[in-house]
Amino acid sequence: MKSLSVLPAGLTILTAVLLSGCGADPAPSAAPAPPSSPAADHALAGTPCGDFAGPQGAKSKVVVRGKTECAEATQVLTDYFTKLTPAEAASPQGPGPVVIGAWTCGSGPNDPVTSCSTEDERQIEATRS
């Protein structure tokens, strides 16, 4: 009977040794990021839409990011500058924010860039030249 009493103690030690090895493996590394597509790179870089004539004929170069057409960008900027009051335009904090449909537009004080964005991450930037 003496051998049977040794068996549970030996089994306990063997189980502990086997289980301690379970946590010794390194955690799997994170999956690599999927390669970016040319369309995604293009959206990040932006799509030039040409020039836009803003208030007092000031020219701005327009760039869109995300799923935004140049025609929509031009219309949003036209509506923004039409809706912008002289007091907002002269604000020491910069013009805006002004809401144009799904878009919110504005810029910092003395900033040559007017930015508009939506909650679904579409963007328009108009930089005065």
Q: Encode pLDDT of 17-33 as tens digits.
A: 334 444 444 444 444 44
User: What pLDDT does residue 38 have?
Assistant: 40
Beta strands in the chain (DSSP E): 47-53, 59-65, 98-100, 103-106, 113-117, 123-128
Give this prediction's pTM: 0.63
Residue 13 has pLDDT above 60, yes or no: no
Instruction: Kindly report, residue by residue over 48-105, the tens digit of the pLDDT.
Output: 999 988 777 788 999 999 999 999 999 999 999 999 888 888 889 989 899 999 999 9
Instruction: Give pLDDT, residue 100.
Output: 95
